[in-house]
């Protein structure tokens, strides 16, 4: 055997062993709560089982704002991580900068075009090329209610705004904090998603997606802010700055009656061994039944000099149907592909999957403003500022609606 044949043999051996085994993925993410970390472990273990090493780059902070700031610094320093958890329009912004890798090969091989819903593909593709692998679909218009606190009111789970207020009042009368909330802009905005949607699909679309100034500054928006102010009256004095998972813990341990939060909150309940229907109740925010404000965590692969094969292996692993079930059962979200059976999901997960499919086929599926799926970050942050300032009493509702028009216009 001459040297050329020998080298060819070595190259072939390296290829068949699987290049991923020689590589790690460095993953930047914000999954640091108990429930999130449990879900992340499902991913880590899955990859490790395939010989892909995991270098952890956690940046705490729900909603991912802090993670995105860290990401910007890393990329500016010429040191992009191999894979990054990212939401909606942030993916589009990074793609436009031309710094992302291309997942077309793995997508074609695994048939992603046929199984990923169009609403997600809108964010996973840039100029027709796959640039991200969606791991889940979350939605923000959920309420997580303590079953014992609800039973103590003698009422049913609320289906309308008025019923919601009646339950919150009864919880207050029973001596608990009715609404567990953390005063952080993204959490205020998460409730705002649901409140705006509760005033109509058309209103949500016109204000949060189309950014129509008439909707942003009109009477319905004043009503939305009035509803926010009403909800504000049910939180405890220590809400400011509290992390979302600590608010979930208040419901879990009986200190508070309910939390209005995306379905990542369910991950906290499950982690505390709480059972849907027995210990807690999941409902759509009253007045939003049948509609869904969604966000999808996607793994975006940066164009890096080394680690490309591990990136592809990770993308394929993330999209594997068995993995999508195992991961989302723990995370509280639902699969990002349409062909995953619901058999392993609990009642809330089954409802989440059915709601997503129905909302999608009925034209009632909308990107979450709070979680980067309705408008780019610049506009999202402008909305955050107004919503939070109003929530903290800096504006009355009429002034907030007016300010919203100005802030959104200035941000575009």
The answer to whether 264 contacts ligand GAL (rule: CB under 6 A) is: yes
Kindly state the smallest distance separating residue 62's Cβ from ligand GAL, in Å: 3
**Helical segments of 174-243, H only:** 185-197, 201-204, 213-217, 219-232
Nearer to ligand GAL among residue 274 and residue 331 (C-beta): 331
Out of 23, 223, 297, 355, which residue is the one contacting ligand GAL (CB under 6 A)? 297
Short-list 376, 384, 377, 356, CA closest to 140: 356
Element (H, E) at 24: strand 24-29
The answer to whether 198 contacts ligand GAL (rule: CB under 6 A) is: no
Judged by CB under 6 A, the chain residues 346 through 375 that form the site for ligand GAL are 371
The answer to whether 295 contacts ligand GAL (rule: CB under 6 A) is: yes
Judged by CB under 6 A, the chain residues 120 through 139 that form the site for ligand GAL are 138
| In 262-370, beta strands by DSSP E | 280-284, 292-295, 297-301, 365-367
Nearer to ligand GAL among residue 153 and residue 374 (C-beta): 374
Per CB under 6 A, which region of 58-66, 205-213, 382-390, 399-407 contacts ligand GAL? 58-66
Kindly state the smallest distance separating residue 61's Cβ from ligand GAL, in Å: 7
Q: Which residue sits closest to ligand GAL, CB atoms considered? A: 62
Per CB under 6 A, which region of 16-24, 62-70, 142-150, 251-259 contacts ligand GAL? 62-70
What is d(CA 68, CA 286) in angstroms, rounded to the nearest whole number? 32
What is the three-class DSSP state of 228?
A: helix
Kindly state the smallest distance separating residue 5's Cβ from ligand GAL, in Å: 51
Which DSSP symbol is given to 205?
I
Kindly state the smallest distance separating residue 3's Cβ from ligand GAL, in Å: 52
Kindly state the smallest distance separating residue 394's Cβ from ligand GAL, in Å: 25
The answer to whether 302 contacts ligand GAL (rule: CB under 6 A) is: no
Strand partners, 142: 284
Beta strand 83-87 with 297-301 is antiparallel
The answer to whether 31 contacts ligand GAL (rule: CB under 6 A) is: yes
Out of 20, 26, 46, 64, which residue is the one contacting ligand GAL (CB under 6 A)? 64
Site string for ligand GAL, 77-106 (x = CB under 6 A): ----------x-------------------
How large is the C-alpha radius of gyration of the chain? 22
What is d(CA 412, CA 404) in angstroms, rounded to the nearest whole number? 12
| In 102-159, beta strands by DSSP E | 125-126, 129-130, 132-134, 138-139, 142-146
What is d(CA 135, CA 144) in angstroms, rounded to the nearest whole number? 23
What is d(CA 70, CA 225) in angstroms, rounded to the nearest whole number? 32
Site string for ligand GAL, 312-341 (x = CB under 6 A): ------------------------------
Residues 307 and 313 sit within 8 Å (Cβ to Cβ): no
What is d(CA 369, CA 336) in angstroms, rounded to the nearest whole number? 19
Judged by CB under 6 A, the chain residues 200 through 229 that form the site for ligand GAL are none
- Residue 290 tokens read as 């049948």
The answer to whether 391 contacts ligand GAL (rule: CB under 6 A) is: no
The answer to whether 62 contacts ligand GAL (rule: CB under 6 A) is: yes
Short-list 71, 92, 85, CA closest to 373: 92
Short-list 320, 349, 288, 334, CA closest to 138: 334
Nearer to ligand GAL among residue 63 and residue 276 (C-beta): 63
Kindly state the smallest distance separating residue 193's Cβ from ligand GAL, in Å: 11
- Residue 1 tokens read as 């055997």
Nearer to ligand GAL among residue 63 and residue 349 (C-beta): 63
The answer to whether 36 contacts ligand GAL (rule: CB under 6 A) is: yes
Q: For binding to ligand GAL (CB under 6 A), which residues are involved?
A: 30-31, 36, 62-64, 87, 138, 264, 295, 297, 371
């Amino acid at each position: 055997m001459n040297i050329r044949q020998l080298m060819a043999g070595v190259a072939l051996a390296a290829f068949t062993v699987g290049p991923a085994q020689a590589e790690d993925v460095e993953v930047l993410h914000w999954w640091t709560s108990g429930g999130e970390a449990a879900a992340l472990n499902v991913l880590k273990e899955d990859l490790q089982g395939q010989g892909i090493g995991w270098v952890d780059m956690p940046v705490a902070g729900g909603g991912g704002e802090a993670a995105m700031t860290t990401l910007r610094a890393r990329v500016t320093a010429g040191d992009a991580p191999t894979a990054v958890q990212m939401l909606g329009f942030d993916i589009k912004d990074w793609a436009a900068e031309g710094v992302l890798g291309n997942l077309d090969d793995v997508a074609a091989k695994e048939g992603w075009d046929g199984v990923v819903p169009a609403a997600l593909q809108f964010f996973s593709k840039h100029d027709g090329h796959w640039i991200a692998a969606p791991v889940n679909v979350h939605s923000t218009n959920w309420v997580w209610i303590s079953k014992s606190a609800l039973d103590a009111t003698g009422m049913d789970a609320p289906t309308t705004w008025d019923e919601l207020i009646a339950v919150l009042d009864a919880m207050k009368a029973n001596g608990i904090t009715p609404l567990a909330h953390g005063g952080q802009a993204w959490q205020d905005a998460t409730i705002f998603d649901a409140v705006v949607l509760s005033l109509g699909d058309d209103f949500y679309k016109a204000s949060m997606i189309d950014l129509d100034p008439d909707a942003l500054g009109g009477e319905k928006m004043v009503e939305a802010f009035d509803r926010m102010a009403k909800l504000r009256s049910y939180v405890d004095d220590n809400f400011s700055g509290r992390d979302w998972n600590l608010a979930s813990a208040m419901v879990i341990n009986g200190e508070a009656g309910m939390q209005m939060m995306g379905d990542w909150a369910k991950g906290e309940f499950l982690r505390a061994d709480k059972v849907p229907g027995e210990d807690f109740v999941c409902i759509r925010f009253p007045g939003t039944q049948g509609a869904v404000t969604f966000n999808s965590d996607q793994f975006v692969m940066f164009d890096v000099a080394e680690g490309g094969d591990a990136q592809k292996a990770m993308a394929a692993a993330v999209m594997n149907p068995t993995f999508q079930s195992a991961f989302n059962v723990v995370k509280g979200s639902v699969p990002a592909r349409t062909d995953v059976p619901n058999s392993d999901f609990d009642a809330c997960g089954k409802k989440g999957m059915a709601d997503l499919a129905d909302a999608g086929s009925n034209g009632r599926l909308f990107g979450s403003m709070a979680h980067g799926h309705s408008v780019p970050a610049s506009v999202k942050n402008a909305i955050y500022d107004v919503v939070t300032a109003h929530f903290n009493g800096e504006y009355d509702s009429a002034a907030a609606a007016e300010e919203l028009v100005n802030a959104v216009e200035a941000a575009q």
